Structure 1
């Protein structure tokens, strides 16, 4: 015969589970905050878990009715277990942006986060409590009004307790909250439930905006002696500070650092901290401050405007999706089953993007732009982003539970991904150099966002932009143009190198800079955001 407990006792046990287990990360954050303060009231410290318990009790009570309790809390416990692990191990903040990243993540990417530590945590804090809950016999009140009265009494007691604590320690809570804005996004399950609600409200159920065509007046202005062939490479999770071209101590740019004409921009900021935001943003004519996801997806982007001008565009995808920017553009999605030499399971090394490239370019007409979406430095399985032969920095971290690697191992693994990307860029430049007789050739590389590797307790990316460290928002931008293209565009390379060293740029510049360097004239072009314009004499 199974254990029988009253519904109020079951609710109390659930409150304790959510408070003491799933919200353990926020207690660690509170400890870090309070340990840095000179004077902290003991009563305030004691009240913190009690306040959380009272608040959770008030929130969870409405779901403790018969027929609702077990299915509702089964789902909530399992999801909260995974969320709490991500917060505890990686410092991830779950808001609407993070929920968008999760919803839009493909199966291959999601699988890279699976590891033994996660499975053990999920079994102990998720599966085991659910099994206990499902086998538990719950005793409900004999009459509905009795049960309602008990719940109202418990709710009233929780609210009165919160009022009393507020009367005693409001200033303490307000002070900590004002100086640590992420705390409100760290309470499980309120954080991810609210984030999912906002994502659903704004993305899934919002009124669709009619599509707006942009740049339909676009046209190629200057006609050179030969057509243009431009490579636009979208990097993944690369951070500028790990580029030896930008002063990093390790030779992460071992392949491109001696290429004549290569320019590295030292201070470039991303539009977002996750691919789902940054990629649509950088291809839009909206700046980061005015960017709206729905608006950006409802209007033409950079590739569309180039096509309006008559440029032949091709998108090659190795990162699970273009986030809508290649809709309406000829696209090649890399199929891992077709390239066993470059692919393992559902992931392929970025060198695969060079396969068939000559033929693909040959099938395009006129001025051409080929966009490559790299797998780059996508974590947490960084070790799967480069072949064993490119394992230059050791010891590295050949596992997905990166929080269990030493700092040196983790950084070495990440640096190997940067070095391997550099190798791919050098190969793409070499490919362009073989085509200089037929085209004016050039290459632009820009990463979508950066990455945290344990500093301040943060791993991976996706931290809300206003809280995100430089590691997640400062990204590399590299350009290379053949001497013929420089002459055709009247581009002063020494001027560009000086600009790259001294000026700050951002994803805001990509849309207009690519139109400018492709010699496209259109009413949506803004010369003030064209980073090449100050160094062109025409």
Structure 2
């Protein structure tokens, strides 16, 4: 009989479609490598006590769908395995650091990692760290390396498949956003660290920011501007000018009675004779970090470059160089670089306990110590006030009990659990309180009229969405941002002495406030003109006051031209 030898048979796995592997990877990153994020997210919800169960359930699906959208472009044959093997290994290390040490991987942490010496780096390795890395990093990476993957046979077929792989998750994300955008916006705004816990976007974003700052912008020279700035004597009146420049926070024009809102949110400034409310003013950005540096820069919205602004002086430097005594008072989250080289007062809650009961300070604190801060010297002075204003989502912390005019309001930070009525009432209270503070600053200016020609200019940095179109808060990309986030209030008050000294026609300016269109682009030159500072940076066409100065109006009447044409002739 013939003898048969049994040979072991190795069964090759059938190739797995790359789309199935891609979904598995998205699920692995979302549900395993982001357990720290999901755990923190559910801890936050647990602390709220009252939340939508559907919102809670949706979070892992949002992570999976978002991962698919981001991962799909890297699924081409010769890129797929190398890319995701590296991503898994690095993400496993990041996951361990976050879970074990509570590390947040932002730009600063990436810088620390890069600059850690060898001895210190090895001190983080242990048996538990090695096991963690093997289980969550090496084993999945080996599985991905060994598993056979099948890809589309033609390029066009592959492009079509990947288009679907991106489109379907985007549609699902859009559906979830429609249902729970308010909830995500509120939780995200109140807990910004969540955005820095998303693996792998946290360390990738941090690395990009580190590389940009370390290698692309490190040698970017710092530019002085307006080195020719000087004060020009006013005609007639010898009094110096005192200007209060008030930068509002998160106030939208749609909620200001002086801009046509049907609720009494401007009861205090409406009683001030001569105070003008500008009806059509657009912001430079939809977030403070963009708008404030932009409005204090000679660059306008169309050509604004944030890095250039950060490596350059601001309007405050130009005024200071010209001889204007300047001071910046901040009750918000800093001046974003525009006050770095001038005298600055950052309001501290411990110094004003009567104004800072909720941990942040009510904007009335800006009136404290003003008499000491306004110099007795006969010189032009400008004090900039950076208000807390309507900073959300904790709107209820922005006004004292005595200024709670609209109710019921919503005294909580998770605005997703406010009714629409409560949310609007709370926000409107912040607008009304800002109106009160601005009115108080005007009244304070009136007490200095024996020594100064006084003027106040108020403008908000950006607006706010309160549910219109399903949007909340702010920070939307400007090209897509709704009017609620870009249409901002602006007000101006001038003493009679200031109007006379500057030869301003009040009726003309009142008509411009009602009918003309302005933006943050007008601030730089308007303030220079208001403070009688001459510099090549000054653009008379952008100076709101210059349009209504008596010499310009007379030239327009004589030539039969517009005031803008007259500005060019002058």
Any stretches of 5+ residues in structure 1 without a counterpart?
1-7, 32-46, 84-98, 104-132
Any stretches of 5+ residues in structure 2 without a counterpart?
1-20, 39-53, 111-128, 177-183, 185-194, 552-570
Q: Secondary structure at the match of 2:493?
A: strand
Does the CA contact (< 8 Å) of 1:232 and 1:369 recur in 2? yes
Does the CA contact (< 8 Å) of 2:295 and 2:521 recur in 1? yes
- Which deviates more, 455-464 or 374-383? 455-464
Question: Take 1:389 and 1:494, find their aligned partners in 2: how far apart are those partners?
Answer: 36
Q: Which residue of 2 aligns with 1:537?
A: 550
Per the alignment, do residues 483 and 159 of structure 1 end up closer, same or farther by CA in structure 2, a change over 3 Å counting?
farther
Matched, 1:215 2:226: yes
- Which deviates more, 448-457 or 357-366? 357-366
Q: Which residue of 1 aligns with 2:6?
A: none
- Which deviates more, 357-366 or 409-418? 357-366
Question: Take 1:256 and 1:155, find their aligned partners in 2: how far apart are those partners?
Answer: 72
Question: Take 2:163 and 2:209, find their aligned partners in 1: how far apart are those partners?
Answer: 31
Q: In structure 1, which of residues 282, 288, 295 is the aligned counterpart of residue 295 of structure 2?
A: 282
Question: Take 2:28 and 2:545, find their aligned partners in 1: how far apart are those partners?
Answer: 59
Matched, 1:406 2:426: no
Question: Take 2:333 and 2:535, find their aligned partners in 1: how far apart are those partners?
Answer: 32
Alignment of 1:404-483 (within 5 A): 404-483=417-496
Q: In structure 1, which of residues 324, 342, 346 is the aligned counterpart of residue 337 of structure 2?
A: 324
Q: In structure 2, which of residues 518, 524, 536 is the aligned counterpart of residue 511 of structure 1?
A: 524
Q: Secondary structure at the match of 1:323?
A: coil
Superposition TM-score, scaled by structure 2 size: 0.70
Q: Deviations over 1:267-307 (max 9, x none)?
A: 11111111111111110101112111221122221111111
Higher RCO (CA-CA < 8 Å; seq separation 6+): 1
Alignment of 1:155-194 (within 5 A): 156-157=149-150, 166-167=159-160, 170=163
Q: In structure 1, which of residues 232, 247, 252 is the aligned counterpart of residue 265 of structure 2?
A: 252
Per the alignment, do residues 204 and 140 of structure 1 end up closer, same or farther by CA in structure 2, a change over 3 Å counting?
closer
Does the CA contact (< 8 Å) of 1:76 and 1:189 recur in 2? no
Question: Take 2:136 and 2:313, find their aligned partners in 1: how far apart are those partners?
Answer: 58
Alignment of 1:14-413 (within 5 A): 14-15=28-29, 17=31, 60-65=84-89, 70-74=92-96, 150-154=143-147, 156-157=149-150, 166-167=159-160, 170=163, 195-203=205-213, 205=215, 206-223=217-234, 224-362=237-375, 366-413=379-426
Does the CA contact (< 8 Å) of 1:211 and 1:298 recur in 2? yes
Does the CA contact (< 8 Å) of 1:312 and 1:365 recur in 2? no
Alignment of 1:486-525 (within 5 A): 486-525=499-538
Q: Secondary structure at the match of 1:362?
A: coil
Following superposition, the deviation at residue 362 of structure 1 comes to 3.0
Per the alignment, do residues 325 and 155 of structure 1 end up closer, same or farther by CA in structure 2, a change over 3 Å counting?
farther
Superposition TM-score, scaled by structure 1 size: 0.74
Does the CA contact (< 8 Å) of 2:73 and 2:162 recur in 1? no
Following superposition, the deviation at residue 260 of structure 1 comes to 1.0
Q: Deviations over 1:479-519 (max 9, x none)?
A: 10011111111111221121122222111110001011111
Following superposition, the deviation at residue 136 of structure 1 comes to 7.8
Q: Deviations over 1:79-136 (max 9, x none)?
A: 9xx99xxxxxxxxxxxxxxx99xx9xxxxxxxxxxxxxxxxxxxxxxxxxxxxx9998
Does the CA contact (< 8 Å) of 1:233 and 1:374 recur in 2? yes
Question: Take 1:210 and 1:421, find their aligned partners in 2: how far apart are those partners?
Answer: 39
Aligned residues: 463
Q: Secondary structure at the match of 2:246?
A: strand
Does the CA contact (< 8 Å) of 1:447 and 1:475 recur in 2? yes
Q: Secondary structure at the match of 1:441?
A: strand
Q: Which residue of 2 aligns with 1:527?
A: 540
Does the CA contact (< 8 Å) of 1:235 and 1:445 recur in 2? yes
Following superposition, the deviation at residue 316 of structure 1 comes to 0.9
Question: Take 2:263 and 2:155, find their aligned partners in 1: how far apart are those partners?
Answer: 53
Question: Take 1:228 and 1:399, find their aligned partners in 2: how far apart are those partners?
Answer: 43
Following superposition, the deviation at residue 401 of structure 1 comes to 0.4
Question: Take 2:293 and 2:432, find their aligned partners in 1: how far apart are those partners?
Answer: 26
CA RMSD after TM alignment: 4.4
Following superposition, the deviation at residue 202 of structure 1 comes to 3.6
Does the CA contact (< 8 Å) of 1:351 and 1:424 recur in 2? yes
